[in-house]
Amino acid sequence: MTRQVPVELFLRNKDNYLTPALWDAEAEIPVEPAFLISGHKSLYLNVTHWSDKARDYLAHHVARKPNDLRTQIQRINVNHAFQDVDGTYGAVLDLFIVLGKDGIGLRRRVLRQCDKLLRPDVRLALKLHLVSGVTALTSMPPAPRSVLTKGLLGTANLVEFLLIREMRQ
């Protein structure tokens, strides 16, 4: 059975006209996601038949070009659309890391959008860092699908405590 690719994805035919790409629903998509997604302006991508490839491509693109906010949002939206809890958390955390203390409005909107999908501990951790921001070294709940975090577990409070005790003596 042949299906039409989502309306926003087109290929050029031999006469150089834009035509909707067609493919067999049971077969692999004939074009790699890098060629279909790269430069695509929409924040919402319809990747129904090839979501795993699209999510992998978006994650690799974010790792290479973390400041590409459009791709960051596309990645969040694709993971959210497929109810991928770990993928959504990893994508949101990567956006928070890139924005740091900036973009609080964007961070707030993304957190509100993904609120119901995120685990309670993750939701709380992100809300606690909404104003202060997140770095790649901030201690956060484990995020196996994040491509920008350094995966720090624990806290630096022990170091601070020792310095305070030393100053008192």
pLDDT tens digits along 108-149: 999 999 999 999 999 999 999 999 999 998 889 999 999 998
Alpha carbon of 35 to those of 38, 39, 88, 133, 160: distances in Å?
6, 9, 23, 33, 49
- Does 9 have pLDDT greater than 50? no
In this prediction, residue 159 carries a pLDDT of: 52
- Phi, psi of 94, rounded to the nearest 5 degrees: -65, -40
User: What pTM was estimated for this model as a whole?
Assistant: 0.69
Could you give the count of Cα atoms lying within 13 Å of 103 in the half-sphere of its Cβ?
17
What is the rounded CA–CA span in Å between residue 78 and residue 30? 20
